[in-house]
Structure 1
Amino acid sequence: MSTTSTASTPTVTASNYKAIPIQQPQPNPSRRFPVTPGVLRSIFASSRTVFEERSISRVAFFRFAGFLISCLAISLATSRGRSIKSGAALLGVV
């Protein structure tokens, strides 16, 4: 004896239709995109023209070179008054 069951499929009409909200995937904190200085620079660089970017880069280079030269000048000025013996005495060599 075999029993078969017939299942009827429900008819969807405007009165019994329920919209199921689509869930957005939640961001996984371990798979976040790392924010590096290069990423930030590319974001800001994309909003400038090539000439503006070149100008900003040139100004940044000359400021950095000025910083290095001033550090060198200050270190030379402070060591100018010292002789080799006094510098060695400060280090405790003599």
Structure 2
Amino acid sequence: MPRQPIYLAADPIEAEIVRNLLATERIECDVFGSMLWSGRGELAADAYPRLMLRDARDETRARELLAEYTSSSARPQPAWTCSCGESVPGNFAACWSCGGVPA
């Protein structure tokens, strides 16, 4: 039976981020379709990268990790105030003005 994708990534960068997330839990997967990314809009094909597990026994744990990943990335982060006094959007890890980080 052919393997089914465990995750459809938004782009090749996200595919690698998710692959590395799973790898930290010793879950091996392969990324397929990354090379088609540059042809999206020109090809009559689904050009989004997909992750495929190497071992089907990892599926339950992989789906748990993916649920955590998708719920945390969808959550808006609150803005913060840098020590230099600038207001910084929550999706910034460092101050846009001085490079400071949240305390």
TM-score by length of 1: 0.28
Between Structure 1 and Structure 2, the one with more strand by share is: 2
Between Structure 1 and Structure 2, the one with more helix by share is: 1
TM-score by length of 2: 0.26
Q: Which has the larger radius of gyration?
A: 1
Higher RCO (CA < 8 A, seq sep 6+) = 2
